[in-house]
Structure 1
């Protein structure tokens, strides 16, 4: 007669709970494994990789903190994200890393302290609190509304002045047209007088030359015995 096999939670064949405990026991690292993977026992290439990751996290956090300061400065002491609140989690979000990263051995005594000091300092500089932010934003909005209204009024005034200037310019152009016509006529007359004067100068030069020739002929006749008779009267 076969004996029935009884199952006990501690044997290898019964119950999900016992299986879970065994799995957890297998997955837990031993003390030797921890010592083997400690920084002092890491292989050089793994240690260099870990140090590179640490340096990259610090670089990302430094950039995120600088960007946050620039955002606050550009927005007149208001942080434009996360409801205006600058926290450790917000710095990590801007850096693109998990907040849990700061809890690791490589950062919890160094980088994390730097981030916490940065957050504390920013909180003293930035305007915080939803009510304060809303009031400040409302004041700025009212300021820019007034500035926009003043610019619009100045633009309208300049537009009216421009239209008035165009009207006055057209009026002056209309008044100047007869004067321009008269000036053109006077210029034509002056050109004609200059031409006549040039003709007179030419005629005067010719008469002067003819007179000189007559004087020369008279001089020659005076030295001879020729008697000049008066002209006949018809």
Structure 2
């Protein structure tokens, strides 16, 4: 015996399911477009090479990145819209020179060599700056010692002048006091 579904309006339930299905389809399209945008950014950041999946960029890889099963693209809802959009996006990437797997390995090796040479140049500049810094510190110590020596010499000279200027005054006082005593 069949049991009837109780408590509900069949048309309203169908409309709710249809709304839910449309929203789910929109979510799939948004997820795929977000994944394509993220992949674009990653390719730009890695000198034109897709940095994952051995450099291969396929529909399956985009679906994996979007969290969508590849079979979803085969459904009637997605077959004519997002699947075609994804296919044209992938073909544009291939026309733009996104390398194949072998080419990706070679490009990655070339990119690694470029980064190694850039790193070596930075390391050399750092070493030169370190040597210059040490030389400037040595010069600073020499100049500080010179300042200290000149400061002492200046003190000695100013104290000697004070004695000289005080000396004649004392002598005058002594002369004046001799004359007044007599």
- Normalised to the residue count of structure 2, the TM-score between the two structures is 0.74
Alignment of 1:60-139 (within 5 A): 60-139=31-110
Alignment of 1:218-233 (within 5 A): none
Work out whether 1:151 is the aligned partner of 2:122: yes
- Report the Cα distance in structure 2 between the residues aligned to 1:43 and 1:175, rounded to whole angstroms: 95
Contact 2:54 2:105 in 1 (8 A): no
* 1:176 alignment partner, one of 123, 147, 150: 147
Aligned pair count?
161
Contact 1:79 1:126 in 2 (8 A): no
Cα distance, 1:43–1:191 mapped onto 2, change above 3 Å: farther
Q: Which runs of 5+ in 2 are unaligned?
A: 1-10, 170-182
Structure 1 residues 126-176: Cα deviation after superposition (integer angstroms, max 9, x where no partner): 432233222222222222222222222222222222222222332333333
Cα distance, 1:130–1:89 mapped onto 2, change above 3 Å: closer
Structure 1 residues 21-78: Cα deviation after superposition (integer angstroms, max 9, x where no partner): xxxxxxxxxxxxxxxxxxx9x8211111111111111111111111111111111110
The DSSP-based 3-state class of the residue aligned with 1:106 is helix
- Report the Cα distance in structure 1 between the residues aligned to 2:165 and 2:35, rounded to whole angstroms: 86
**Between Structure 1 and Structure 2, which shows a larger proportion of helix residues?**
2
- Normalised to the residue count of structure 1, the TM-score between the two structures is 0.59
Q: Which runs of 5+ in 1 are unaligned?
A: 1-39, 200-234
- Report the Cα distance in structure 2 between the residues aligned to 1:45 and 1:177, rounded to whole angstroms: 90
Contact 2:56 2:101 in 1 (8 A): no
Aligned counterpart, 1:53: 24
Cα distance, 1:181–1:79 mapped onto 2, change above 3 Å: same
- Report the Cα distance in structure 2 between the residues aligned to 1:60 and 1:122, rounded to whole angstroms: 19
- Report the Cα distance in structure 1 between the residues aligned to 2:21 and 2:165, rounded to whole angstroms: 102
Larger Rg: 1
Q: CA RMSD in A?
A: 2.9
